[in-house]
Amino acid sequence: MDKLRATSRSLSEADQQLDVERGHIEVVDLNGLKVKRQTLQPGWRFSVDSGQSQCLDTHVGYAVSGHVHVALSDGRELDIRGGDVFVIPPGHDAWIVGDEATVMVQFDEGASALERFGVEVPAKAA
């Protein structure tokens, strides 16, 4: 990744837009640092809507609105609500709680976030 430099971009003019099951994602690339706004609708659940039992990405970000519940592979659980900042390591399921859409802004993702932010990977539950 190149060094970050002073810049400003709008997520409304994203480099990439993705429609996912019960959601929408906008991605802006800031010279190698991906910033992603994810809007997920009520009823969304990673393990159901992605077809995978767990998400193996790392997420570092800010919840703008809504409520998401995260179950980590080591048995810990997180509740993330609008106004919260979060770090979610790989090996988790997550789902929207309630009848309000959840909007989150994430800084980088996957292995890159794991390395960049030095996130600890939890041990799997016994």
**pLDDT digits over 63-116, tens only?**
999 999 999 999 999 999 999 999 999 999 999 999 999 999 999 766 666 676
- Fold assignment, 14-117: Jelly Rolls (2.60.120)
Per domain, the residue ranges of the chain are: 14-117
Among 52, 26, 46, which Cα is nearest to 104's?
Answer: 26
- Read off the pLDDT of residues 13-45 as tens digits, 9 standing for 90 and up: 999 999 999 999 999 988 878 899 999 999 999
- Cα torsion 113, 115, 120, 123 to 10°: value is 90
Are 64 and 105 in contact by the 8 Å Cβ rule? The answer is yes
Q: Average of pLDDT values for 41-56? A: 94
Residues 6+ apart with CB under 8 A from 10: 28
